[in-house]
Amino acid sequence: MKIIVPVKRVIDYNVKPRVKADGTGVDLANVKMSMNPFDEIAVEEAIRLKEAGKAEEIIAVSVGPAKAQETLRTALAMGADRAILIETDAEVEPLAVAKILKAIVAEENPGLVILGKQAIDDDSNQTGQMLAALTGRPQGTFASKVDVAGDSVAVTREVDGGLETVKLSLPAIVTTDLRLNEPRYASLPNIMKAKKKQLDVKSPADYGVDIAPRLKTLKVSEPPVRSAGIKVADVDGLVAKLKELGVA
Amino acid sequence: MKTLVWVEHDNASVKDATLSAVTAAAKLGEVHLLVAGSGARAVADAAAQIAGVGKVHFADDAAYEHALAENIAPLIVDLMGHHDAFVAPATTTGKNVAPRVAALLDVAQISDILSVEGEKTFTRPIYAGNAIATVESSDPKLVITVRGTAFAKAEATGGSGVVEDVTGAGDAGLSSFVGAEIAKSERPELTSAKIIVSGGRALKDSETFEATIMPLADKLGAAVGASRAAVDAGYVPNDYQVGQTGKIVAPEVYIAVGISGAIQHLAGMKDSKTIIAINKDEDAPIFQVADVGLVADLFSAVPELTGKL
């Protein structure tokens, strides 16, 4: 089967984001960008399924600006076979991304689509579920284990309180949680080879998808700042503080 | 506006997360509940007691027992024919089901709201809580998940809702439940605990974590949490994880032991009322958000603290 892995170019997870002074958003100028960490896990899982002989082809897909090509090249260097960029400079909401992915799913007919559970910029946690809804396919969200056997896939999910395993009939949609795997680093030779792999560039209009936002961002502000705390000299000071708070 | 609130439950009792979602929904208008489960009549009866609740839609079917999104979403979409908003707590179940509902209704979802600013205007955290966005929906119907720690809990009793049976299409035939492995804990539940003692990478291994953190937590009647580093290193199961990708908590007192305070961890706990940090590195970022800090080696300080309480 084919596997499609959608990947997103986001602010690097180690960077502390700064809110723009005019409240229109977060300042992304000259900030290090990387592949969304959950998407790296998705790419890795697809590659492992291919290495286990359970998939033949991996297609990495990204919706975003021209620079998202770098993100797709990273996926290709890790081991994806080809890539599709749906290029737009607009901010695309999860629903619109899901609609674009639905059109790609209709074209490519993958057995699995593996997405990250959420992007660390908008923290929505929606796209995979929405794609599953639009394609009428089952969903295995927050996966910490994926086991493909025959015409179904068993997905162990991280849920509040522990783990849960569900069995989904293929084709299916899976979203990754952090513990699914540890993504590999792309080696230099593979980075070089990735430059020669196929990368098609398309636009949302090619798929007939209206990407107009449904949500209007009125403003973006700093979270409330915590007032500076105090340091106590020793454990006795801490005990006194806990007593003051009424917890000891 | 008529809102439909997803009742989080285990087929026996209503989970606390529901109560915060009811408070958020009440700000939008009339509150109706949905109890979907198997043999969950007691849940529906309990849900009807929640203060401020009008109708309780009760769907009892074996297909709804484990809240599989494929089976539940069409039921909710049906009920949304006569509701204006769907509200779910931002639990793993809510996060799993709500976007599937939103896409079927062709509306954008508003995830993890912190406040209701107007009929269609909400605030929500982005970038791991480093920014707060105020967003306005242009959709005819709303689909919302609610951050539990941002809203007070509705009273669980005193209401006089009416339970009304509804039926849905049942099993969509796409998925099935195989099994669950629920971590057993005698301690309070992490997301609703008043006090949390959390440990990080500095705890060395699971035995040390157990021997250091647990006695302090038990002395305080606290829940136990952990940073991602502690979970990844296998000191504790992953449902202990507090942070952007784990649980979001806001207890009265959060005690961070041997946790440096990476932004992903802070995203999960920085709304705690009082933060206490014990760390031997006085430059650790955790001290920038801590109300009370103690620079000390946790291996001597924590047992001493436990002994003196």
Mean pLDDT of A123-132: 98
A247: closest CA of chain B, how far (Å): 7
Domains of chain B with CATH codes: 2-165 (3.40.50.620), 190-308 (3.40.50.1220)
Does residue A228 have a pLDDT over 80? no
> Burial of B180 by CB count in 10 Å (0-12 exposed, 13-18 middle, 19+ buried)?
middle
CB < 8 Å to B305, chain A: 235, 238-239
B32: closest CA of chain A, how far (Å): 24
Is residue B183 very low, low, confident or very high in pLDDT (cuts 50, 70, 90)? confident
- For residue B186, the model assigns a pLDDT of 81
Cβ neighbours of residue B190 under 8 Å, at least 6 residues apart? B196, B223, B224, B225, B239, B240, B242, B247, B249
A196: closest CA of chain B, how far (Å): 34
- The pLDDT > 70 percentage for chain B reads 100
Does residue A103 have a pLDDT over 80? yes
- For residue B185, the model assigns a pLDDT of 77
pLDDT in tens, B95-144: 999 999 999 999 999 999 999 999 999 999 999 999 999 999 999 999 99
ipTM: 0.95
Does residue A161 have a pLDDT over 90? no
CA atoms within 13 A of residue A32's CA, in its CB half-sphere: 6
- Among residues B127, B126, B131, the alpha carbon closest in space to that of B110 is found at B126
CB contact under 8 A, A122 and B276: no
Q: B298 is written with which tokens?
A: 């946790």
Q: Are A207 and A92 in contact (CB under 8 A)?
A: no
> If DSSP codes are grouped into helix, strand and coil, which group holds residue A241?
helix
Mutation target vs A (from B65, B93, B115, B175; most A CBs, 10 A cutoff):
B175
CB contact under 8 A, B111 and A123: yes
pTM (2 d.p.): 0.94
- For residue B239, the model assigns a pLDDT of 86
d(CA A100, CA A74): 21
Phi, psi of B264, deg, nearest 5: -70, -30
CB contact under 8 A, A159 and B274: no
Phi, psi of A191, deg, nearest 5: -65, -40
Q: A173 is written with which tokens?
A: 């949609």
